Amino acid sequence: MDAAATLTVTYCTAADFPAIEDQLIAVYAEVYRSEAETDPFFSVERFTERLRNHAAAPRWGCAVGDVDGEPVGYSYGFARTAAYRWNGLLTPAPADELAETDTRTFALCEVMVRRQWRGTGIARTLHEELMNHRIEERSHLLVEQEHPKVRALYERWGYRWMGEMQPYPDAPRYDSLIRPLV
């Protein structure tokens, strides 16, 4: 990042979602442009549907970053409830790892940074700002198996492999990673 540039991170909740929805979708459309052209799962329409469902979930939170007023990325997720079931988990896991309460797991859905801002530390800043607002015991995320460098990045941030997941029938297979927050 240019030494003169200033990163501003704003934490948002579900109450703020209507004001930032278009910005989140626009960044997604840019970041996933090539994937969306070849895989309907990554289309803007499908992402918008997932985003709206996530934003309606309990304790949705989002850390939005901009540099000198220009959106550069965001990180968001929501709290899992005690009713959550690990559908799509392809790897057996101990029952105690899968047990949920209303405060056990934060589902980290996206950490997304526009291409020209990658490699600057913004992704980690957005992630950590989001985690600083969480009350849950741990964070869970999925990373596409075709992206081992991204998985390695999350592992450097303290995440560990938990198994494989395919959360939707038409979704790719993901590595399921988890990290303690407390």
Q: Which residue has the tokens 């965001």?
A: 74
Q: Which residue is it, tokens 């990042």?
A: 1
Q: In what order do the strands lie in the sheet with 160-165?
A: 7-13, 61-67, 70-79, 105-113, 138-144, 174-180, 160-165
Contact 63, 130 (CB under 8 A): yes
Residue with tokens 């991170």: 9
pTM (2 d.p.) = 0.94
**What pLDDT is recorded for position 2?**
59
Phi-psi region of 130 (alpha: psi -120 to 50; beta: other; left: phi over 0): alpha
Q: Does residue 9 contact residue 129 with C-beta atoms inside 8 Å?
A: yes
Give the tokens for residue 56: 């309606």
Q: What per-residue confidence (pLDDT) applies to 3? A: 54
Q: Could you give the CA distance from residue 76 to residue 49 in angstroms, rounded to a whole number?
A: 15
Structural domains of the chain sorted by starting position, each given as residue range(s) with its CATH number in brackets = 7-180 (3.40.630.30)
Low-confidence residues in the chain, pLDDT < 50: none
* Ordered DSSP codes for 146-163: T-HHHHHHHHHTT-EEEE
What pLDDT score was predicted for residue 1?
Answer: 57
φ, ψ of residue 78 to 5 degrees: the values are: -150, 170
pLDDT at 5: 76
CB contact at 8 A, 17 and 60: yes
E strands in the chain: 7-13, 61-67, 70-79, 105-113, 138-144, 160-165, 174-180
The per-residue pLDDT for 182 is 80
Q: What is the pLDDT of residues 80-113, one digit of tens each?
A: 999 998 989 999 988 999 999 999 999 999 999 9
